[in-house]
């Protein structure tokens, strides 16, 4: 909660580029730990998995996990007063759980019921709660106090923890993480190559992406509005806030 | 009129015509993005091309539609003026090379993606944002916004916003961090390392 207080002094100007990283020295250490974990354990395992698992298996697993995230999405839609989206997502869950065979196939997407990206951190953002300083979480990666609390709330909304014992959910979660890492490998490695400083790349991309999600970039198509127009002034480009 | 003068006049005239045709376009932003996407996709689908040739062709298409001069100034922001003319020139070349390298690498990973132009919007500064969507089979669509600015009668791309993440804002954050810690020399050195370009004499 103390961290939430730290959140207040972030200027509105340059929202898409500001730094707000007072905990940088700690964050960099956690980042290095996460990177090591990815380099020596997660990525090698994911590559092995990618080698043995056919694409259809990888896609099906991801679909299954997306489908059981339904309560998180629906509840957050309601908390953001998006009743239409909540209804659509319910329809999506019903269709995919039945016709899509327990959610392994995303049939609903073809029926005009597209997947939605929603979580508790976004809801807090929509309610006007500021993100707070950048925070790298061990294992979970880029975050901030608002989204970290959001993660806890998402965990509470994940009813399957109640439906199945730990010796089922823990291995399941592990497989899901490995599978998603495998699916994202190309994007992640290409980002690593593109970045001159991957830590700063992640910090900035995370902030921009979360802002866009809070503004519902996919549903309303107003994602670019999250970007400060001053960014594009060649004659008087502003300095980025440097809060170190 | 002597023949030499006639020749040079004809030459001038043809040159002007050609120039007019090249920039002729003046095509509206939406069409610029649509044309570019169409050309890139056609190249990616062309199985008769070798990897290197395909990459060169994609690069050529991108270079024709992106305003790298403005892009370089935007990513450097106020730091642009802290570079000498020579450094600015080197930066622009290296940054262009770096972008080509990182994104050109994916030209052989084409998996039946297609591009749909969704809408366009005029921004405060007179720029135009064209919203598009890369449609993929089996995975989620990717939203890509292109920001275009008119320069010498042509609309050119000055930023690409992927799923809400602006390339200009992202590189600006990185470059600013590097500039404040190691200055222009460090930034250029890092870019040289990334692009494997030899340092200037």
Find the range with the poorest average confidence among A127-131, B139-143, B181-185: B139-143
* Contact of B29 with B130, CB cutoff 8 Å: yes
Residue A163: is its pLDDT beyond 50? yes
Comparison of pLDDT for A13 and B112, the residue scoring more:
B112
Question: What residue has token string 């190249």?
Answer: B43
- In the structure, what pLDDT confidence band is assigned to residue A230 with cuts at 50, 70 and 90? confident
A194 in contact with B, Cβ within 8 Å: yes
Contacts of A53 (CB under 8 A, 6+ apart): A179, A182
Residues A149-163, mean pLDDT to the nearest whole number = 86
Q: B77 and A193 in contact by Cβ < 8 A?
A: no
In a domain, A92, yes or no: yes
Q: How many CB atoms lie within 10 A of CB B11?
A: 10
Question: What residue has token string 């135009």?
Answer: B128
Find the range with the poorest average confidence among A24-38, A92-106, B10-24, B173-187: B10-24
B116 in contact with A, Cβ within 8 Å: no
Q: Pick from A197, A231, A234: which is nearest to B169 by CB?
A: A231
In a domain, B52, yes or no: yes
Chain B residues with CB under 8 Å of A186 CB are 106, 109
Residue B4: is its pLDDT beyond 80? no
Chain B residues with CB under 8 Å of A194 CB are 98-99, 102-103
Candidates B165, B187, B191, partner chain A, best to mutate (most A CBs within 10 A): B165
In a domain, A139, yes or no: yes
Residue-level pLDDT at B8: 53
B163 to chain A: nearest residue by CA?
A: A209
Q: In which element (H, E) is residue A232 found?
A: none
Q: Which two tokens stand for residue A13?
A: 């100007």
Residue B101: is its pLDDT beyond 60? yes
Residue-level pLDDT at B102: 80
In a domain, B201, yes or no: no
- In the structure, what pLDDT confidence band is assigned to residue A225 with cuts at 50, 70 and 90? low
Chain A residues with CB under 8 Å of B194 CB are 193, 196
Residue-level pLDDT at B201: 55
Give the domain CATH number at B167: 3.10.450.710
Number of domains chain B contains: 1
Residue-level pLDDT at A97: 94
In a domain, B95, yes or no: yes
Domain span at B127: 3-196
Distance of CA B14 to the CA centre of its chain: 28
Residue-level pLDDT at B21: 43
| Shortest Cα–Cα distance, B190 to chain A (Å) | 7
Q: What is the ipTM of this complex?
A: 0.83
Q: How many CB atoms lie within 10 A of CB B157?
A: 21
Residue A204: is its pLDDT beyond 90? yes
Residues A120-145, mean pLDDT to the nearest whole number = 95
In a domain, A178, yes or no: yes
- In the structure, what pLDDT confidence band is assigned to residue B7 with cuts at 50, 70 and 90? low
A224 in contact with B, Cβ within 8 Å: yes
A184 in contact with B, Cβ within 8 Å: no
* Contact of B143 with B54, CB cutoff 8 Å: no
In a domain, B97, yes or no: yes
- In the structure, what pLDDT confidence band is assigned to residue A9 with cuts at 50, 70 and 90? very low
Residue A211: is its pLDDT beyond 60? yes
Number of domains chain A contains: 1
Q: How far is CA B55 from CA A89, A205, B49, B50, in A?
A: 41, 27, 9, 9
Comparison of pLDDT for A156 and A147, the residue scoring more:
A147
**CA B167 to CA B194: how far, in whole Å?**
17
- Three-state secondary structure call for residue B93: helix
Chain B residues with CB under 8 Å of A183 CB are 139
In a domain, B85, yes or no: yes
Residue-level pLDDT at B51: 84
Domain span at A166: 2-239
In a domain, A244, yes or no: no
What is the pLDDT of chain B when averaged over all its residues? 84
B124 in contact with A, Cβ within 8 Å: yes
Kindly write down the DSSP assignment for every residue of chain B, as one continuous string: --HHHHHHHHHHHHHHHHHHHHTTT---HHHHHHHHHHHHHHHHH-TTS-HHHHHHHHHHHHHHHB-HHHHHHHHHGGGGGGS-HHHHHHHHHHHHHHHHHHHHGGGG---S-EEEEEEEEE-TTS-EEEEEEEE-SSS--EEEEEEEEEETTEEEEEEEEETTEEHHHHHHHHHHHHHHHHHHHHHHHHHHHHHTPPPP-
In a domain, A20, yes or no: yes
Question: What residue has token string 């050309």?
Answer: B39
Residues B35-42, mean pLDDT to the nearest whole number = 91
Residue A19: is its pLDDT beyond 70? yes
Q: B70 and A234 in contact by Cβ < 8 A?
A: yes
Q: How do residues A30-67 score in pLDDT, each as one tens digit?
A: 999 999 999 999 999 999 999 999 999 999 999 999 99
Q: B124 and A237 in contact by Cβ < 8 A?
A: no
């Amino acid at each position: 909660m103390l961290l939430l207080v730290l959140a207040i002094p972030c200027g509105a100007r340059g929202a898409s580029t500001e730094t707000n990283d007072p905990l940088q020295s700690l964050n960099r250490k956690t980042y290095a730990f996460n990177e090591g974990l990815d380099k020596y354990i997660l990525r090698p395992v994911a590559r092995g998995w990618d080698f043995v698992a056919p694409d259809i298996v990888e896609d099906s697993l991801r679909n299954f996990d997306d489908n059981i995230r339904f309560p998180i999405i629906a509840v957050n839609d309601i908390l953001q007063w998006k009743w239409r989206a909540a209804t659509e997502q319910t329809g999506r869950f019903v269709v995919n759980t039945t016709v899509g065979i327990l959610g392994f196939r995303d049939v609903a997407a073809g029926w005009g019921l597209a997947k939605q990206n929603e979580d508790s951190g976004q809801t807090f953002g929509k309610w006007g709660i500021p993100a707070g300083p950048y925070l790298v979480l061990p294992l979970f990666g880029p975050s901030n106090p608002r989204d970290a609390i959001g993660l806890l709330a998402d965990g509470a909304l994940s009813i399957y923890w109640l439906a199945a014992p730990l010796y089922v959910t823990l291995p399941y979660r592990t497989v899901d993480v490995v599978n998603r890492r495998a699916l994202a490998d190309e994007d992640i490695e290409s980002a690593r190559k593109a970045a001159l400083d991957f830590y700063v790349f992640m910090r900035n991309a995370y902030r921009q992406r979360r802002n866009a999600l809070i503004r519902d970039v996919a549903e309303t198509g107003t994602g670019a509005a999250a970007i400060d127009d001053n960014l594009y002034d060649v004659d008087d480009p502003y300095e980025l806030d440097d809060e170190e | 009129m002597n023949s030499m003068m006639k020749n040079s006049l004809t030459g001038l005239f043809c040159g002007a015509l050609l120039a007019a045709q090249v920039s002729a376009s003046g095509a509206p932003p939406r069409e610029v993005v649509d044309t570019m996407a169409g050309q890139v996709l056609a190249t990616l689908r062309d199985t008769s091309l070798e990897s290197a040739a395909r990459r060169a062709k994609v690069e050529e298409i991108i270079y024709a539609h992106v305003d790298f001069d403005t892009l370089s100034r935007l990513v450097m922001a106020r730091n642009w003026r802290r570079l000498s003319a020579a450094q600015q020139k080197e930066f622009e070349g290296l940054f262009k090379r770096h972008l080509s390298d990182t994104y050109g690498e994916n030209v052989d990973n084409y998996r039946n993606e297609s591009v749909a132009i969704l809408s366009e919007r005029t921004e405060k500064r007179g720029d135009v944002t064209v919203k598009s969507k890369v449609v993929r089979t089996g995975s989620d669509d990717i939203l890509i916004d292109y920001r275009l600015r008119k320069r010498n009668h042509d609309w050119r791309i000055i930023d690409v916003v992927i799923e809400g993440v602006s390339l200009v804002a992202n590189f600006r954050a990185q470059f600013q961090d590097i500039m404040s810690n190691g200055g222009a020399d460090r930034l250029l050195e890092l870019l040289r390392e990334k692009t494997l370009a030899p340092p200037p004499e």
